[in-house]
Structure 1
Amino acid sequence: MGFNYFLIILLFSTITDPFSVDGLGCNWGLQAAHPLQPEIVVQLMKDNGFDKVKLFEADPGAMRALGRSGIQVMVGIPNDMLAGLASSVHAAEDWVQQNVSNYLYVAVGNEPFLKTYNDRFTNVTFPALQNIQAALIKAGLGRDVKPTVPLNADVYQSISGLPSGGDFRPDIHSLMTSIIKFLNDNGAPLTINIYPFLSLHADPNFPFDFAFFDGRATSPLVDGQYTYSNVFDANYDTLISALEKNGFPNVPVIVGEVGWPTDGDPNASRQLARRFNQGLLDRIARGPGSPKRPDRLPDVYFFSLLDEDAKSVEPGRFERHWGIFYFDGAIKYGLDVGPGRRGNLTAAKGVRYLERQWCVMRAEADLGDPGLGPALGMACTYADCTSLGAGSSCAGLDGRGNASYAFNVYYQTMSQQRGACERSS
């Protein structure tokens, strides 16, 4: 998502065709109050058929657990390194020498051209990409290790509203064509993050069923010879049109993030997440590709494997609830992720829980106490209260229920420390 600043690299335990669809990919974020042991998460992925994973930081425990798993790994380095890599090819060479010998991709940046970044990474992404490629060549890895740039779908647009009108944003048009030419010249893919949920979230008039893959949309989008029954294909082909329009019809594309949240918004629920994710899985299984690229189905990384209850909610209250599994690896909803697993995900095994005890508001406590509001604010600053928001799963609680929920989630976040509950007495 947009508020992660990362330089990403992709590690493969065995070298495969980099542009073939093989198995399932997922994103594994680590921003949780009580993160699962890495070995448990790796087994969770294996039990559910995920053989590719994207990390947003090079966590030593996660890397050790993944080392002999056979899972293909994409590792993130903070995007704040981009300026240093852009200004010094020697810094890029040092980084490559230390980190890249076993990797297949080096993905420079994570959605660096989001408008919300106010051009923070606009002038350093391409130079960093060039220096990384030069360092790869110097290290003798230029043929085996390919650079890429993960981008948010806001880097392209269509004034006509049709995929055929796709082109890159005017403010970064020249930069985008330079980056894509560089990728194309080096036989490298472009990585794009596509979120149909955000289309629905941002526009109250967006056609609801067009966000999904099950063909319920009553008015498909017709664009010349092509017909679109879902926004994912329409969005993807808008990018393909932009590539074709600028002379790059054959650049390979990877979908680095796609998914649906389960809480924090009226359109974020387990039912809708299942509808979207199952539809995407079925779409991948049956093929073909998009209307404009019917013979090429991109690799897809689901966002995300697990909820992250410590993520920033600046993009929206839903930001902590993208997981296919809850933060503890428990199953949210049934999902057919492959042969032999129809409707049956496998929960995380070996999870250790805190004691079965809770912090609730005393019956005699006064809801009119002037100190209650600040105490609730404190609790929800340090713990995840997003389920209490309007349109969220616990929005219907009364005042006492809201208080108990907030104080209890704070108590659990603080690992049931006695003082954490006494604050809310």
Structure 2
Amino acid sequence: MTSFNYITSFFLFLTIFSLSDAGFIGINYGRIANDLPSPTSVVQLLKTQGINKVKLYDTEPTVLKALSGSNISVVVALPNELLSNASQSQSFANDWVKNNILAYYPSTQIETIAVGNEVFVDPNNTTMFLVPAMKNIHSALVNSSLDSNIKISSPIALSCLASSYPSSSGSFKPELIQPVITPMLDFLRSSGSYLMVNAYPYFAYEGNADVISLDYALFRENSGQVDSGNGLKYVSLMDAQLDAVYAAMSALKYDDLKMVVSETGWPSKGDESETGAGQDNAAAYNGNLVRRVLTGGGTPLRPKQDLEVYLFALFNENQKTGPTSEKNYGLFYPSEQKVYNIPLTVAGLAGWNGGKTQSTPTPSPSPSPVNNSGGDGGGTVSTSGVGHTWCVANGKLGVKKLQTGLDYACGEGGADCSQIQPGATCYDPNTIEAHATFAFNSYYQKKNRAMGTCDFGGAAFVVTQAPKFGKCQLSPGN
């Protein structure tokens, strides 16, 4: 412990004199909850915690007004449901920028517009609209002479990678490259912007805890893993994830593009089946990540590119769907009390000891594929159904509730929803209930039918008979 504190003090000493060269820590301010403090109170909380960068998921007027004059830099978002309109109509894009950006800027320091969020896994199939929407919003900024002040980007999920382990083999899914990846990267380059990436070591660890060291996932001391492709040594799963994206960009000749981690975090609470969720691990991950970022330096592949990270999230959000973990990523309770104590600024690093030490041995770090897609539980294998269970949608809850659950399952939940896309095997019947059933079951089987994984805010329930699904038979898993 003595040597660890000495090293920590040494890095803090360096940081004091090179803070301008280090990365930054921002935070995501999500509001899917009915018990959050007022936006004015939230801005005061951000100030008291020394947080000067915040990322939003919309352009809520009360929030943008509260941030006015705060000197907090803001990332706003054009939601996925507006991509179609923004891509097909320049006048719509112009009006959106006028009403949601010009009405608040510059007193509210908007620095980036996130056009969509994890669009490639959006079950509403909005991928084709992404780049045209980005270009139209950018044109609207050009018309207002704001294109040099406000950047355009779009957060991608790691599930867009076809290969991610080892990191040196990182590559984008072939079906995405020509239609959207290359045009998007071209746009980011030409507009002087950067790529946003949502990276969650928690998901990779939770699904592969038998082969991934917890210390490796939490930025704790470990023996590391050498990448057989590039010879670089990795001592954190986050570094491996980010370098897989860098390798994928490099394979397409976009080595010059910068990357910002638009979301990352670790849940402080989860269902019994959610391995790794808990306060100690959440504190260790986020606290060690803050230290990692604020002491400067990049990844093994891009050592000179300091990390720029938005933590997820500011508050626990009680109305999010999915497993218990989804409601418990916050650093703060809605009461504004801390869920756990971690440093958020350089000054706070002095007393940080790296989080609670693991009391039992963990496996040697062996990072598995780091994309968050996985599982074949929604497949088309026919079985007799003996001894099996399925997860089906509760159609009585209405379209909105089912759509929310469907979005989660196919997005953050990592369900394999490729077969319910237009033209795929299980697209018909083309109803929200049928597609939600497919997605819910895929998620449920991926989680090995664990208790609590077929709920989706009451939008799903377990059955013991194989549901009828047109010509598609849902797999009961292994």
Is the structural similarity TM-score above 0.5? Answer: yes
Matches within 5 A, 1:285-324: 285-313=294-322, 316-324=323-331
Q: What residue identity is the alignment partner of 1:329?
A: E
Change (3 A) 1:308 1:20: farther
Query: How many residue pairs are counted as aligned between the two chains?
Result: 324
CA distance in 2, matches of 1:252, 1:130: 19
SS in 1 for 2:233: strand
CA shift, 1:197, in A, is 0.4
Is 1:80 equivalent to 2:87 in the alignment? no
Q: Deviations over 1:114-137 (max 9, x none)?
A: 2xx346211111111121122222
**Aligned equivalents of 1:54, 1:222: Cα separation in 2:** 36
SS of the counterpart of 1:100? helix
Structure-1 residue corresponding to 2:118: 111
Q: Per the alignment, do residues 30 and 21 of structure 1 end up closer, same or farther by CA in structure 2, a change over 3 Å counting?
A: farther
Q: 1:305–1:325: 8 Å Cα contact kept in structure 2? A: yes
Question: What amino acid is the match of 1:225?
Answer: G
Name the aligned partner's letter for residue 324 of structure 1.
L
Provide the C-alpha distance between the structure 2 equivalents of 1:296 and 1:58, rounded to a whole number of angstroms.
Answer: 30
In structure 2, distance between residues paired with 1:65 and 1:235: 35
1:261 counterpart SS class: coil
Aligned mates of 1:329, 1:343 — CA distance in 2: 22
Where 1:104 maps in the other structure, the secondary structure is strand
Which residues of structure 2 form unaligned runs of 5+?
1-19, 353-396, 402-478
Question: Residues 13-70 of structure 1: CA distance to partner in whole angstroms, max 9, x if unpaired?
Answer: xxxxxx9856420011112221112222212111112110111232333222211211
Call closer, same or farther: CA 1:298–1:194 in 2, change over 3 Å. same
In structure 1, distance between residues paired with 2:53 and 2:157: 20
- Answering whether residue 343 of structure 2 is matched by residue 336 of structure 1, we say yes
Is residue 2:278 matched to residue 1:272? Answer: no
How far did 1:266 drift? 3.5
Length-normalised TM-score, structure 1? 0.71
Matches of 2:225 and 2:247, distance apart in 1: 22
2:197 match: 192
Structure 1 residue 269 displacement after superposition: 0.6
Q: What is the SS of the residue equivalent to 2:119?
A: coil
Q: Give, in whole Å, the separation in 2 of the partners of 1:191 and 1:218.
A: 26
Report the counterpart of residue 208 of structure 2 in structure 1.
203
Q: How does 1:29-40 map to 2 (within 5 A)?
A: 29-40=30-41
Question: Sequence identity, in percent?
Answer: 29
1:327 deviates by 2.5
Identify if the C-alpha distance between structure 1 residues 285 and 82 changes in structure 2 by more than 3 Å, giving closer, same or farther.
same
Equivalent residue, structure 2, for 1:422 = none
CA shift digits 1:202-227 (9 cap, x unpaired):
23434132212112256555543311
Letter in 2 for 1:131: N
Give the Cα–Cα distance (whole angstroms) in 2 for the partners of residues 300 and 121 of structure 1.
Answer: 26
Cα displacement (A) at 1:325 = 1.3
User: Residues 119 and 310 of structure 1: is their aligned pair in 2 closer, same or farther, counting only changes over 3 Å?
Assistant: closer
Q: TM-score, normalised by structure 2?
A: 0.64
Are the equivalent residues in 1 in contact too, given 2:77–2:115 (CA < 8 A)?
Answer: no
- Cα 1:21–1:299 shift into 2, 3 Å: farther
Cα distance in 2 for partners of 1:219, 1:132 equals 42
Q: Tell me if 1:131 matches 2:140.
A: no
The 1:254/1:332 distance shift into structure 2, 3 A limit, reads same
1:49 aligns with 2:46: no
Match of 2:463 in 1: none
Q: Is the 8 A contact 1:220 1:230 kept in 2?
A: no
Deviations 1:376-400, CA, capped at 9 Å, x for gaps: xx9xx9xxxxxxxxxxxxxxxxxxx
State the alpha-carbon separation in 1 of the partners of residues 336 and 47 from structure 2.
13
Distance in 1 separating the partners of 2:149 and 2:224: 46
Within a 5 Å distance, the mapping from 1:354-369 to structure 2 comes to: none
Supply the distance in 1 between the matched residues of 2:346 and 2:141 (Cα, whole angstroms): 39
Give the Cα separation in 2 of the matches to 1:38 and 1:194.
27
Structure 2 vs 1, CA of residues 85 and 155 (structure 1 numbering), >3 Å: closer, same or farther? same
Q: 1:97 and 2:98 equivalent?
A: yes
SS in 2 for 1:123: helix
SS at match of 2:128: coil
- Please report how far the alpha carbon of residue 99 of structure 1 lies from its aligned counterpart in structure 2 after TM superposition: 2.8
Tell me the CA shift for residue 231 of structure 1: 1.0
Q: Is residue 20–residue 298 contact of structure 1 (8 Å, CA) maintained in 2?
A: no
2: CA distance, partners of 1:338 / 1:232: 20
CA deviation digits over 1:207-250, x for unaligned, max 9?
A: 13221211225655554331111110011011111111101101
How much has 1:104 moved relative to structure 2?
A: 2.6
Give structure 1 stretches of 5+ with no counterpart. Answer: 1-18, 345-377, 382-425
Matching residue of 2:155: 150
Across the aligned residues of Structure 1 and Structure 2, the Cα RMSD in angstroms comes to 2.4
Deviation at 1:201, TM superposition (A): 1.9
Amino acid corresponding to residue 336 of structure 2 in structure 1: G
Residue type at the aligned position of 2:89: S
SS in 2 for 1:93: helix
